[in-house]
Amino acid sequence: MAKSARRAGKGKGPLTSSVSSSGASTPSSESGPLPPFARVPESLSSFVELLSPDQVYLIHIDTSPHDLKKQTFFVPSVMNVIIAVIIAVRLYFVRFFYPALLATIVGLSSPTTVDSSTMTWVEMMKIILYRTANVVLDYFLVLIFLPWPIRFIRGPVKWRRTVGFQGHEIIVRRSQNIWSKNLVRNRWIREDEASRDRIVAAVTPERLEKPGYMLVDADWDLDYDAMIRAQELVDPARKNKDDRVPLEEFRTSVLVSTDTDGWLIWRVGDESSTTTSDGKDYSEQRDQILAFREKLAAIGKEDLFFRWVEIIQYESTLPGGFTTERQQSAMVQAKQLFEEGGVDFSSLWREVGGIEGFLEQID
């Protein structure tokens, strides 16, 4: 997948660029967006209009078991309840402390007021340390821990109350500002290898096996409002059937905004999940074909690759299609061609792992 993204970013089509108001340049081709991107389909227009154009979004359909989804929600729920209880208990114990301390600071008499003239230095230091420790403790509770249950209620709890636990849930992740704030729209697919690899790694099939809530990390956060909106759009019970979006439209994809072409989508799922009859994906086949060509080029025999392609194309265009017999005929012709060129076809074939199902990959 990453390799195909790199190759797509090196297209030979003529390029133009537009400059946004911020001065950021966004590339486009004269015929439209650069592959593997395409313009967002009309069916998703009502969804993307609510997204921030300054961030990268990842969408996919979560089909994890119900029990696993409930478990990944239950554990953080318990943690946030514990944090909320601790903060509530702490608030109860200091309910009189801070009003009295504030009164002392403004010069009013309160239980926290002390007469320093009658106290020793040791007693004064104990009082100072005690009050300082309380203020520091409460500062960290409010600054670090209080936002957790607040975010949890405004995010996961709101999401689950609205959506519930469904067999097919739409997960929407948005890029963390720490790395995406300087990302120039869709240029990362051609120029920023680190950002490209970060995005590609986040949408691998292995990664997406996890429930949506477990995909939050330093690079990506869940956009709960977008997930609620997406689930509403695919809801079979939606009143206006004409506005309902097919669930398949939210298959694994990358969404980015550009100045020239608006919102673009990269259907990563189409590359990673499209398979041949023997289960090998097209992305892997393309990599094998390129490896086959590169090996021939390395020994100065790249012309054999193109002649081999011609044989395949000829056999596949005959009436009846590329049958098993014609595949065997093409193999025999290719072997003879390579032997005449001084190349061991069988050995080279094995080195790249075989290229079954390559017909659809040859242009």
Q: Are 32 and 58 in contact (CB under 8 A)?
A: no
Same domain assignment for residues 138 and 204: no
Same domain assignment for residues 84 and 145: yes
The CA distance from 341 to 49, in Å, is 57
Q: Which of 83, 118, 149 is the last residue of a domain?
A: 149
Q: What local confidence, expressed as pLDDT, does residue 347 receive?
A: 79
Q: Which domain holds residue 140?
A: 67-149
Q: Which of 255, 273, 291 is the last residue of a domain?
A: 273
Same domain assignment for residues 232 and 289: no
Q: Name 61's bridge partners.
A: 170
Q: What local confidence, expressed as pLDDT, does residue 9 receive?
A: 44
> Exposure string (b/e) for 192-226, b if CB count within 10 Å is 16 or more?
beebbebbbebbeeeebeebbbebeeebbbbbbbb
Same domain assignment for residues 52 and 85: no
Same domain assignment for residues 192 and 265: yes
Q: Are 172 and 215 in contact (CB under 8 A)?
A: no
Q: Judge whether 203 lies within some domain.
A: yes
Count the Cβ atoms, other than its own, within 10 Å of residue 253. 20
Q: What local confidence, expressed as pLDDT, does residue 157 receive?
A: 97
Q: Judge whether 175 lies within some domain.
A: yes
Same domain assignment for residues 251 and 196: yes
Same domain assignment for residues 181 and 313: no
Same domain assignment for residues 132 and 268: no
User: ω before 53 within 30° of 0 (cis)?
Assistant: no
Instruction: Give the contacts of 102 (CB within 8 A, at least 6 positions apart).
Output: none
Planar angle of CA 295, 352, 341, nearest 5 degrees: 45
Q: Judge whether 158 lies within some domain.
A: no
Same domain assignment for residues 86 and 145: yes
φ, ψ for residue 332 (rounded to 5)?
-65, -45
Q: What local confidence, expressed as pLDDT, does residue 283 receive?
A: 54
Per the structure, the count of domains in the chain is 3
Q: What local confidence, expressed as pLDDT, does residue 178 receive?
A: 84
The CA distance from 241 to 40, in Å, is 21
Q: Tell me, rounded to whole angstroms, the distance of Cα 187 from its chain centroid.
A: 16
Q: Judge whether 157 lies within some domain.
A: no
Q: Judge whether 308 lies within some domain.
A: yes
Amino acid at 46: S
pLDDT in tens, the chain (363 residues): 444 444 444 443 433 333 333 333 343 444 567 777 889 999 999 999 999 988 999 999 999 999 999 999 999 999 999 999 999 999 999 999 999 988 888 888 888 888 878 888 999 999 999 999 999 999 999 999 999 999 999 999 999 999 999 999 999 999 998 887 777 655 666 666 677 778 888 988 888 989 998 999 999 999 999 999 999 999 988 777 778 899 999 999 999 988 888 899 988 867 554 444 444 455 566 667 777 778 888 888 878 887 887 787 677 666 666 677 877 888 888 888 888 888 887 777 777 665 554 444 444
Amino acid at 69: K
Same domain assignment for residues 229 and 288: no
Same domain assignment for residues 58 and 84: no
Q: What local confidence, expressed as pLDDT, does residue 14 receive?
A: 37
Q: What local confidence, expressed as pLDDT, does residue 117 receive?
A: 80
Q: Judge whether 219 lies within some domain.
A: yes
Q: Are 311 and 334 in contact (CB under 8 A)?
A: yes
Q: Which of 211, 245, 273 is the last residue of a domain?
A: 273
Q: What local confidence, expressed as pLDDT, does residue 230 receive?
A: 96
Same domain assignment for residues 195 and 288: no
